[in-house]
Amino acid sequence: MSSLPALQAEVEGYRNEAAEVAEEFSRVHAEIESDPSLTVVGKRERLEPLHAEVVEQIDTLRAREKAAVRGVKEELERRLFGLSATASNDPARVVSFRDAQSRARQLEDADDAAELYESAKRSGDNILATAVLERALVRGWSTIKQDFLESNTAARGDLDDLAALAMYGDNGFANLVHYVPPSLNLPHSAGMPTIPNLHSRSQPQGAQPLRSGFGTRS
């Protein structure tokens, strides 16, 4: 059964919450900036700690997304390339697994990989064959993947899910854009330049907390 639908729902939840946090800050920012009872300094003192809180909360949501994606990826990799619970308790199988991983990591040529893969199949060395498959996926040697799937059709879903996880790449703009904190935009007196947004995490004493809507899920 694919693990992606549950992951996608979880990620969507984090991204929606980040958007709500940013939207609430923008609303509070407008209220404070238009408050005639506050001086420019007073408005800054209110906004700076609130903004720092928002930045921290959005960073936390981004970290939760990354952890969720990493968890699914590791589970898929364990199912596809790892040892079973029984095999993990067999010292000989563990040594064989480590040796296979080492040999596979040294492969730099598709033909060499195919030769080792075929040799592993002929000798019934599934541990080595799977290690070569993992290397082939990293290097884009699709022939080995197709051959593996012909004999292991049940693994297709996990391989497809593993490939689909690339959509959550750590540095992809389409992902990072969901976690860009709102600009601080400190108010300033006429002739006084706007203070740069440094995303400071320090909070002055007596800072007022944001409304409950800013809280992230526990």
75 plus 7 within the same structural domain: yes
- Residue 205: per-residue pLDDT: 39
- Residue 174: per-residue pLDDT: 77
3 plus 69 within the same structural domain: yes
Residue 191 lies in a domain: no
Give residue-wise pLDDT tens across range 167-213.
887 666 778 899 999 999 888 764 444 444 444 444 443 334 444 44
Give residue-wise pLDDT tens across range 17-69.
999 999 999 999 999 999 999 999 999 999 999 999 999 999 999 999 999 99
pLDDT above 70: residue 143: yes
Give residue-wise pLDDT tens across range 64-85.
999 999 999 999 999 999 998 8
9 plus 35 within the same structural domain: yes
Q: Contact, 59 vs 179, CB < 8 A?
A: yes
CA dihedral 116, 118, 119, 122 (to 10 degrees): 160
91 plus 125 within the same structural domain: yes
Query: pTM of this prediction?
Result: 0.75
List the domain range (segments joined by +) for residue 95.
85-140
- Residue 187: per-residue pLDDT: 82
Q: What is the mean pLDDT of the chain?
A: 86
75 plus 170 within the same structural domain: yes
Q: Number of structural domains, the chain?
A: 2
96 plus 132 within the same structural domain: yes
